[in-house]
Amino acid sequence: MRKLTIPLDAEVIRSLHMGDPVLLTGVMLTGRDSVHKWMVDTFISCTREPQGDDLQVYEAIKPLLNGGVIYHCGPVVAGLDTGEYRFVAAGPTTSTREEPYQGDVMRHFNIQGVIGKGGMGAKTLAACQEVPGVYFHAVGGAATLIAETVKQVSGVYKLDFGVPEAMWVISVVDFPAVVTMDSHGNSLHAEIDARSKEVLSELIG
């Protein structure tokens, strides 16, 4: 079991390989569909003009994402009325929804770790090789247990997207995950998919 501290760096990323179990400690950001689309449309493809607090949020998240980790998570959050936020549940979201955006977002912000469940596709795998970065698979169905690794919620951006879609800034200690896509072009998800197709072909052939 590797213990890793966020922010990560290229040397650490290159030392990780598909199948490595890890414990992550440090500050990470959550981000799902709305956040990824907002990042790409506003700051990467520039098909949308910055509005409201967009530029201020951009400047705030840039240093957190540089060498950082983004977590595909729609948390259940207590303390919304007082601002004393606490994660009650923090399970991973299915990552394939972010495949159209993730590679570009990784390159733009130098994100070196992506956490979710179910894996991602060829575009993200290419970005993992280039940035470099890795995809960490978190255990689905363990939302309450994962929330116990979240020791502090230090801020939130884009709360107007809604609680699950907002960008939460969290400090975690020993967040458990497994490297399933590495910077060397290996994807456990692609391997399982290919093997499953072979077995299916044998069964119906």
Cite the active site residues.
36
- Find tokens 């598909």 and name the residue: 18
- Find tokens 């879609």 and name the residue: 165
- Find tokens 């003009």 and name the residue: 49
Q: Which among 91, 100, 96 has a CA at the least distance from the CA of 71?
A: 91
Q: Which among 112, 106, 126 has a CA at the least distance from the CA of 36?
A: 106
Reported as type and span, the H/E element at residue 97 is none
CB atoms < 10 A from the CB of 193, how many?
13
**Size (the chain), residues:** 205
- Rounded to an integer, what distance in angstroms lies between the CA atom of residue 115 and that of residue 136? 5
Residue 79's Cα: distance from chain center in Å? Answer: 24
Which tokens hold the place of 156? 């939130």
